[in-house]
A and B are shown apart, each in its own frame.
Chain A
Amino acid sequence: MRLTRLSLSFFIALTVNQSLVFASPLVDQQQIYAFYQTVFPQLPFKDYADGVYAIDADAKTSWLAINEFPPYEFELEEGKALFQKAFNNGKHYADCFSNEGIAIAQLYPQWNIKTQSITTLATAINDCRIVNHAEPLKFAEDEITKITAYMAYTSRGQKINTVIPSDPAALTAYELGKTYFYQRRGQLNFSCASCHVQNAGKFIRSEILSPALGHTTHWPAYRLKTGKLGSLHRRFIVCNTLIRAPIDKAQSPALRQLEFFLSNMSNGLTLNGPSVRK
Chain B
Amino acid sequence: MLTARRHFIKQILAISSYAAGLSFSHLSLADWVSSHFQKQALKDSFNQIFPEQTLQTSDRIYLKLPKTAENGSVVPITITSTIPNVDTIYIFSEKNPVPLVAQFSIDPDLETYLGARFKMQETCDVIVVLKASDEYYQARQRVKVTLGGCGG
A–B contact, 8 Å CB criterion (strictly below): yes
- A residues with a Cβ closer than 8 A to B are 58-59, 61-63, 65-66, 68, 71, 142, 195, 203-207, 209, 223-225, 227-228, 238-239, 241-242, 277-278
A195 to B149, CA, bound (A): 11
- B residues with a Cβ closer than 8 A to A are 4, 64, 66-71, 73-76, 78, 115, 117, 146-152
A182 to B152, CA, bound (A): 21
Do residues A62 and B75 form an inter-chain contact, with CB atoms below 8 A? yes
Known A-B contacts A62-B76, A65-B78, A66-B117; A278 and B150 likewise in contact (beta carbons under 8 Å):
no
A68 to B4, CA, bound (A): 25
Known A-B contacts A225-B151, A228-B4, A241-B152; A206 and B146 likewise in contact (beta carbons under 8 Å):
yes
Closest Cβ of chain B to A8, distance in Å, is: 22
Do residues A204 and B71 form an inter-chain contact, with CB atoms below 8 A? no
Do residues B150 and A224 form an inter-chain contact, with CB atoms below 8 A? no
Chain B residues within 8 Å of A195, by CB? 150
Do residues B150 and A59 form an inter-chain contact, with CB atoms below 8 A? no
Chain A residues within 8 Å of B71, by CB? 224-225, 278
Chain A residues within 8 Å of B76, by CB? 62, 65-66
22 chain-A/chain-B pairs, Cβ below 8 angstroms: A58-B66, A59-B68, A59-B70, A61-B64, A61-B66, A62-B66, A62-B70, A62-B74, A62-B76, A65-B64, A71-B74, A142-B4, A205-B147, A206-B148, A207-B148, A207-B150, A224-B70, A224-B71, A239-B150, A239-B152, A241-B152, A278-B151
Most B C-beta atoms less than 10 A away, residue of A63, A65, A241: A65
Known A-B contacts A142-B4, A225-B73; A58 and B67 likewise in contact (beta carbons under 8 Å):
yes
- Within 8 Å by CB of B70, from A63, A68, A203, lies A63
A174 to B69, CA, bound (A): 38
Do residues B66 and A207 form an inter-chain contact, with CB atoms below 8 A? no
Chain B residues within 8 Å of A65, by CB? 64, 76, 78, 115
A66 to B69, CA, bound (A): 12
Chain B residues within 8 Å of A239, by CB? 150, 152
Closest Cβ of chain A to B52, distance in Å, is: 36
Do residues B152 and A242 form an inter-chain contact, with CB atoms below 8 A? yes
- Within 8 Å by CB of A238, from B67, B74, B152, lies B152
Closest Cβ of chain B to A79, distance in Å, is: 15
- Give A207's nearest chain B residue, CB to CB: B149
Most A C-beta atoms less than 10 A away, residue of B68, B74, B146: B74
Chain A residues within 8 Å of B115, by CB? 65, 68
Closest Cβ of chain A to B68, distance in Å, is: 6
- Within 8 Å by CB of A205, from B66, B75, B149, lies B149
Known A-B contacts A58-B67, A59-B68, A61-B66; A66 and B149 likewise in contact (beta carbons under 8 Å):
no
